[in-house]
Each structure stands twice: as structure tokens, then as C-alpha cells.
Amino acid sequence: MNAKSISAQWRPAAILGLLVLLLIAPFVLPTYPLSVLTEILIFTLFAMSLNIVLGYAGLPSLGHSAFFGTGGYAVGLLAKYFGTPAPLALLIAVVAGIVLALITGPFVLRTHGAYFLILTLSLTQVLFGIVWLWRRVTGGDDGLPGIPTPKLPFLLGRVSDTANFYYLTLIVVGIAIATIAWVVRSPFGLALVGIRENERYLEGLGYPTWTLKYVAYALAGGYGALAGGLFAYFKGFVGPGQISWLLAGEGMVMVILGGAGTFWGPAIGTILVLLLRYEVSAFTQRWVMILGIVFILTVLLLPQGIVRLPNRIRELRAQLQREAPLPRPRAPAHQTPSERTVEQVIERS
Amino acid sequence: MPVNTASLVIGLSYASLLFLVSVGLSVVFGLMRFVNLATGSLYLIGGYIGWSVARSTGNFLLALVAGALAALVVGILIERGFLQRLHRKELLQVCLTLGVAYIVQDVTRWIWGGDPLRLRPPELLRGSMELFGSVVPIYRVALIGIGAVLAVLVWYLLERTKWGAYVRAGVDDLEMVECLGINARRIFAIVFSLGALLCGLGGALGTPVTGVAPGTDIQLQLMALIVVVIGGLGSVTGAIIASIVVALVDTIVRTFWPEASFFAVWALAALVLIVRPQGLLGRAA
């Protein structure tokens, strides 16, 4: 039995352990680290939603913040004008994100590669401009302040407000991530990987590649808007900054650093980028440079993302022992193709 | 008259700078599908080095040479050090060049501080002149001239020489070019270096007009990306036309609707790509 399948065996236990840690976090952590953890959860969802298009389908979107901002503004506008309760507002935010993706999808999906990158970026900038100039409704660059933070009713009075919102985020993000896991491991998700690797081949096999990409784009939009809605609640504020392409770029970096097209990569990338931003900036002014160095080192040493670090170490160790690198894990014969995990498919590609 | 000569001159001089920054990016893009997000950083380096040299020697021409050479050196370092091993891996290229851009921005902020620096044009080109009934700065007019000369030079090099034919063939079908026994990697390295040189030259030339500050790199980078995709990847003529169109639109909107200036060019880019997904002069992907 090789190391890969051992780690696969322990995966359920690891996820359970992580979940327990996340559940007891509010009892251990002070307020500030807990709010950073909340933000990490929200941006993990953001990065994972981007990963659906960027990592799995291989579409280099630099405009994912458009959905994040749409979700945020949906929540902000509903709270400001209608006082809509949070569950409904988040649902509407998701619908808004999907609708935006369905509208822009036919245009952006006509382009490829660098053109796709710039068109998504351009549309995001246009949305930014609309929000910026439509001061009467969106508040322009002042944004919409004073969005009330929703609370879980059954925890009221038992935990602090920060912890309450943390649990709410944990539940929403947890459900979302579980559904993303289901989506990317489904035949649909595997077909997306196929499109990334060889679109023509998949077309030849009879897959409706355009429709698959369109659906992936819409799904990513919906999840991105959900993250944006949560973030608007988290900050109690939504502004044009939440549509800014800088955010889209940051999301892209999170996904690539962690490992595009891997399931947990974006989460690792998010943790890394946010911790660098908050923790390293606290003791040095040069954190931008450190971030740049981290990018370059990741590309040079771990081109498949930080999530591949254990594999890389194993490979290097094998090389040091003057052995051939470990053979790639083969899927057991009794496993049917549809049961293969995405990681295995990527590993083999 | 809504568009007078002055705004035309300002727009066209900006177009010169945009062309210098974007032409290398465009050809490299087209040749190797290589996404260089450190283009703006090369401009920044050219600007800062040019500023320092002009300050200490008082010689503007020397400043131009120094700025261009500094960008060339950094460009060669990037190409030799990293890019060679990232052929056809777009996401990694994005990540790597973004990392370079971050480092360059931080290092330059460290050395030159965060305040915008501006250079006075050389003695000969100071002041203003009258052109078709309106008063325009001489330096801007000179910039248009320099940009036009360089554009013709680059166009000639790529469209009329044998070496340029190799490059254009590489844009069309890199593998075929390699099959014919032409060293595509060397061509790529030369194109990349020349592009970096032009970027640095643009930075030094632009210092009296746009100034340099942390953030100039991002601004120029984004504009260059817009120019490149509007013009079409790998097309010099496209880059020339798109530079002029983007710069004029930017200048005109800036004059008449300042609040909308930052996204007008984006709307233009979105429009062009929606109508023509491969850019104005790009070939269908």
C-alpha cells in the first residue's frame, strides 16, 4: 500500500478533525483571531467558487469579484430598502450572482485564454463604474454602510456576537463547500476537467462543452455571490472595493498558490494570503515583497500549488535516497471511472 | 469644437507611451502565449532609473538610455531566470510575473519613496508652442514624433525583414516554425528583451508627462492589456491602432466626464471583445 492511499484512508478522519477544531474555535480564540478566521472561511468559499472556472474548467477569469460584489450589493440593498431577513437575502444574492453569470456568460465564453481574462476583467470594471456612478442607489464610493449582522437565534445570548456570526458563516460556508465537493466529483465536474485538458476531444466524445462551461460559470457566479453576501454582513458594509479587480486578482492568486484544480488548494491559498496580509504586515512593512517572493517560490518549487507539498517532499526524499521517484498511484481495478476522485484524474492527466 | 488640438496632442502623446509599453507585450503574447504582468513594472523601472540619472547628470538623453537599459536587464533576468521553464503554463506565468511586479513595486517604493516623482523635460523641449491655433506643450509634440518613429521602426522590423517574418510565423504556428529549424526560443528571448527595452524607454520618456509613483505600474499594465487585446494578440498594426484609440478615448472622456474616465476604456474593451472576441486585428483563435 503506497502513501497516497494511506492519506486517502485518513481523509474522512482529517475532515472530521478539522470540523471539530472549527467548531470549538470560538471557545479558544479571542475576538480578533476569530474574526480573521471568519474572513478566511468567507474567502475560502470565494476562492473555491473561482476554482470551479479557473481550476477545473481552465477558464482564466480575472473578473470573479463582479459576483462577489453583486452578492454584497444584493444583501446591502435588500437590507437598506426592504429590511429583508438574512436567509432570504443570501438566497437572492445567490440568484443575482447566477443571473449575472447567465447574462455575461454567452459573451465571455466566446473568447479564449488571454481574451477571456481581459473580457471578464473589463466587464467587472464596467460593473464597478456603474456602481460608482449610480450614487443615488448604490451610494457611490461611500457604499452602503450599516448592514445589520444576522445572528443565529438558537445561539443568542449564549455566545458573543462575533462567535455567533462565525457559526453562521461556518454553517453556510460548510454547506456550500460540501455541495462544491459534490459538484466537482460528479460526472459534470470530471467533464469540466476534461474540457480544461482537451476541449476538442471532449466535444468529439459528444459532450456539450459549451453548455458545461456555461453551467460552471453560472455555478461559480452563484457561490461567489454567496461569499460576497456573507462578507457584506461580516463587514456591515458594502462598497465598490468589493467589486474591484484587485479582489479578483487576489482570488486568482489564492487559487493558483494553493493549487488550481485541486479541491483543498484554494483553502490553503486563502489562509496563506490572508495570514500574510494580517500577520506579516503587523511586524514588517515589506509584506508586499514577501508575498511576491512567495508567489515566485511557489511557481518554481511547487508549480501545482502548495497543496502538493507532501507529494513533493516525498518525491524529493525518494530522489535523495537515489531511488526513482514514486510511481504515480494507479486507481484500483475494481473502481469504476465515475468513482475516481478529481485529484486522481488530475494526477493521471 | 469639442475636441481641440490640445486634447488631441495630449491623447496622441499618451498613445505613444501606450504603444511603447504594449507592443512588446502583444508580440510576446502572440508568439508564446506568454502573459507578462510585469510589463508595467518594467515601465516603472525605466521611469525611476531615468529620473535618478537625469537628476544626477542633468542629461536627459543619458536618462533615456539608462532607463531603457535598466528595463532591458531586468527583462533579460526575468526571461532567462524564470520564463524559459514556464512555456505554455499561463496560470503559473500570471502568478510568477505578478510576484515580480509585487517585488519591483516594493523595492522601488523602498528606494524612491511613495511620492510621485516628475522630471522636467530637457531644455530644448521645454515650454509650449502654437499648433493649429492652440497652445500645446512642446514635449508632448516631441513625444508623438518619437512614438511615430519607433512605431514605424518596429513595424518595419516585424513586417518587412526576414527576422520579422520568423516572428510572425511564430505567432501563427510556433510548432511549425520550430520544425523548419528556426530557433523559436532565441526569437522569443530577443522579442522579449526588445519589448522590455521599449517599456523602459517608455517609462523614461513618460516621466515628464505621467510622473512615476507606486501605482503607475498597475495603471500602465492595465492600459497595456486593454491595448493588446483590443488590437489583437501579436499584431503590431493592431497595437498601433489600439494605442491611439484607447489613448484618445481616455483623454476625451477625462476632459468631458472625469468621473467616468477610469472605466470608459474598460467599456470600450468589453464592447470590442463582445463584438470581436479576437480583437480588432487578431486572427480567430
Q: Which residue bears the cell 474593451?
A: B269
Cα angle: A44, vertex A270, A143; to 5 degrees: 70
CA distance A71 to A90: 8
Count up the domains in chain A and report the number.
1
CA distance A65 to B120: 40
- The reply to whether B124 falls in a domain is yes
Q: Is the dihedral of CA B109, B90, B74, B173 positive or negative?
A: negative
Cell numbers for A15: 475532515
- The reply to whether B49 falls in a domain is yes
- The reply to whether A305 falls in a domain is no
Say yes or no: A296 contacts chain B, CB-CB below 8 A: yes
Answer yes or no: are the C-beta atoms of A53 and A61 closer than 8 Å.
Answer: yes
**pLDDT tens-digit map of A174-188:** 999 999 999 999 999
**pLDDT value at residue B280:** 80
Domain that holds residue A55: 29-290
A128 to chain B: which residues are within 8 Å by CB?
A: 263
Which has the minimum average pLDDT: A209-218, A222-231, B33-42, B241-250? B33-42
What residues contact B190, with CB distance under 8 A and at least 6 apart? Answer: none
CA distance A37 to A43: 10
Give first-to-last CA distance, chain A, whole Å.
22
Q: How confident is the model at residue A98 (pLDDT cuts 50, 70, 90)?
A: very high
- The reply to whether A14 falls in a domain is no
Mean of per-residue pLDDT scores for chain A: 84
Q: What is the mean pLDDT of residues A71-86?
A: 89
Beta strands in chain A (DSSP E): 144-145, 237-238
Q: How confident is the model at residue A14 (pLDDT cuts 50, 70, 90)?
A: confident
Longest Cα–Cα distance of chain A, Å, equals 69
Contact yes or no for B110 and A286 at CB 8 A: yes
A264: domain CATH number?
1.10.3470
Give first-to-last CA distance, chain B, whole Å.
41
Q: Which of A15-19, A226-230, A345-349 has the highest mean pLDDT?
A: A226-230
In the beta sheet, which residues pair with residue A200?
A: none
Q: What is the mean pLDDT of residues A315-339?
A: 60
A126 to chain B: which residues are within 8 Å by CB?
A: 263, 266-267, 270
Say yes or no: A122 contacts chain B, CB-CB below 8 A: yes
Contact yes or no for A122 and B33 at CB 8 A: no
**pLDDT value at residue A250:** 87
Cα angle: B194, vertex B195, B197; to 5 degrees: 60
Distance from CA of B57 to the nearest CA of A (A): 30
Distance from CA of A317 to the nearest CA of B (A): 23
Give the H/E segment covering residue A52: none
Q: What is the mean pLDDT of residues A101-127?
A: 89
Q: What is the mean pLDDT of residues B61-72?
A: 92
**pLDDT value at residue A72:** 93
Of chain A, the percentage scoring pLDDT greater than 70 comes to 90
ipTM comes to 0.84
DSSP string, A157-200: TTS-HHHHHHHHHHHHHHHHHHHHHHHHHSHHHHHHHHHHH-HH
CA distance B96 to A121: 19
**pLDDT tens-digit map of B112-141:** 888 888 887 877 777 777 777 777 788 888
- The reply to whether B281 falls in a domain is no
- The reply to whether A153 falls in a domain is yes
**pLDDT value at residue A7:** 63
Distance from CA of B60 to the nearest CA of A (A): 31
Say yes or no: A125 contacts chain B, CB-CB below 8 A: yes
- The reply to whether B236 falls in a domain is yes
What residues contact A305, with CB distance under 8 A and at least 6 apart? Answer: A256, A257, A258, A259, A260, A262, A265, A268, A269, A298
- The reply to whether B285 falls in a domain is no
- The reply to whether A144 falls in a domain is yes
Say yes or no: A295 contacts chain B, CB-CB below 8 A: yes
CA distance A275 to A277: 5
pLDDT at residue B285 is higher than 80: no
B229 to chain A: which residues are within 8 Å by CB?
A: 114-115, 118-119
Of chain A, the percentage scoring pLDDT greater than 90 comes to 37
Cα angle: A103, vertex A106, A112; to 5 degrees: 130
Amino acid identity at A346: I
Indicate the SS3 state at residue A340.
Answer: coil
Chain A residue whose CA is closest to B38: A292
Question: Distance between alpha carbon A17 and the CA centroid of its chain, in Å?
Answer: 21
CA distance A137 to B57: 55
Answer yes or no: are the C-beta atoms of A252 and B94 closer than 8 Å.
Answer: yes
Distance from CA of A103 to the nearest CA of B (A): 12
CA distance A180 to A67: 17
Chain A residue whose CA is closest to B234: A114
Count up the domains in chain B and report the number.
1
pLDDT at residue A123 is higher than 70: yes
**pLDDT value at residue A100:** 95
Higher-confidence position of B124 and A93: A93
**pLDDT value at residue B1:** 44
Answer yes or no: are the C-beta atoms of B143 and B119 closer than 8 Å.
Answer: no
Q: What is the mean pLDDT of residues B196-225?
A: 88
Q: How confident is the model at residue B263 (pLDDT cuts 50, 70, 90)?
A: confident
pLDDT at residue A113 is higher than 50: yes
**pLDDT tens-digit map of B182-208:** 888 888 888 889 989 999 999 999 888
Q: Is the dihedral of CA B195, B198, B203, B206 positive or negative?
A: negative
**pLDDT tens-digit map of A19-74:** 888 888 888 888 888 888 999 999 999 999 999 999 899 888 989 999 999 999 99
From residue B33, alpha-carbon distances to A25, A99, A111, B285 in Å are: 46, 32, 14, 12
Say yes or no: A68 contacts chain B, CB-CB below 8 A: no
Q: Of A125, A132, A292, which has the smallest distance from its Cβ to B99's Cβ?
A: A292
In the beta sheet, which residues pair with residue B129?
A: B136
Q: Where are the alpha helices (DSSP H) in B83-183?
A: 90-112, 138-160, 162-172, 174-179
Distance from CA of B10 to the nearest CA of A (A): 24
Domain that holds residue B9: 5-275
Q: How confident is the model at residue A234 (pLDDT cuts 50, 70, 90)?
A: very high
- The reply to whether A191 falls in a domain is yes
Answer yes or no: are the C-beta atoms of B34 and B191 closer than 8 Å.
Answer: no
